[in-house]
Structure 1
Amino acid sequence: MKSFAVYLNKQDATCSLSEEGRIRVYSHNSQDASWHAARDIEFTLADCRTLPEFRKKITHMISELSDCRIFIAREVNGQLFSILEAYRFSIYEVDGKPEQFLDSIYELESKELAAAAQAKAEAVTGKTPEKSDEEGRYFLDLKAALNQNPHLTSKKILLPFISERNFKQLELICDHLPKWFNNELENLGLIYSADKAASGDIKVTICPK
Structure 2
Amino acid sequence: MKIATYVDEEGTLSSLYEPGHVRVYDNAAGAWEARKKIPFEVGPDMTLSEVKSALGDVVDRLEDCRVLVSGEVRGLVYSLLQEEMGFHIWKAQGPDREQLDIVAGREADLIARREQAAVEEASAANCAQGCCGKKGGGGRSPCGPAAAPSLERVGNGHYRIDLAQVLESDPNLNSRQVLIPVMQETEFETLEILCDHVPRWFSRALVEMNMRAEFDASAQGLKVLVSPNHQT
Deviation at 1:186, TM superposition (A): 3.8
Aligned residues: CA RMSD: 4.8
Q: What is the CA deviation profile of residues 87-130 of structure 1, one whole-angstrom value per residue up to 9, with x for unaligned ones?
A: 321112211112211111111111111112535997xxxxxxxx
Contact 1:14–1:94 at 8 Å: present in 2 too?
yes
Structure 2 counterpart of 1:6: 5
Partner residue of 2:78 out of 56, 77, 81:
81
Identity of aligned residues (%): 23
Residue 42 (structure 1) aligned with residue 35 (structure 2): no
Task: List aligned pairs for 1:31-180, cutoff 5 A.
Answer: 32=30, 34-46=31-43, 49-51=45-47, 52-87=49-84, 88-119=86-117, 143=141
| Structure 1 runs not aligned, ≥5 long | 123-139, 160-171, 197-201, 203-209
Q: What is the CA deviation profile of residues 45-76 of structure 1, one whole-angstrom value per residue up to 9, with x for unaligned ones?
A: 25x63213323212222222222211111124
2:22 counterpart SS class: strand
Q: Distance in 2 between matches of 1:184 and 1:143?
A: 25
Q: Using a 3 Å threshold, how does the CA distance of structure 1 residues 77 and 184 change in structure 2: closer, same or farther?
A: closer
Deviation at 1:191, TM superposition (A): 5.8
After TM superposition, the score normalised by the length of structure 2 is 0.51
Residue 28 (structure 1) aligned with residue 24 (structure 2): no
Q: Distance in 1 between matches of 2:139 and 2:59?
A: 38
Contact 1:141–1:174 at 8 Å: present in 2 too?
no
Contact 1:185–1:191 at 8 Å: present in 2 too?
no
Q: Using a 3 Å threshold, how does the CA distance of structure 1 residues 121 and 11 change in structure 2: closer, same or farther?
A: same
Deviation at 1:173, TM superposition (A): 8.3
2:32 counterpart SS class: strand
Q: Distance in 1 between matches of 2:118 and 2:72?
A: 32
Deviation at 1:15, TM superposition (A): 1.7
Q: Distance in 2 between matches of 1:9 and 1:185?
A: 31
1:96 counterpart SS class: coil
Q: What is the CA deviation profile of residues 137-170 of structure 1, one whole-angstrom value per residue up to 9, with x for unaligned ones?
A: xxx98859x9xxx9xxxx9xxx8xxxxxxxxxxx
Q: Distance in 2 between matches of 1:121 and 1:63?
A: 34
Q: Distance in 1 between matches of 2:26 and 2:185?
A: 44
Q: Which amino acid aligns with 1:90?
A: H
After TM superposition, the score normalised by the length of structure 1 is 0.56
Q: Distance in 2 between matches of 1:173 and 1:75?
A: 32
Q: Which amino acid aligns with 2:46?
A: T
| Structure 2 runs not aligned, ≥5 long | 121-137, 148-172, 178-183, 212-227
* Regions of 4+ moved over 4 Å: 119-122, 140-144, 172-177, 190-193
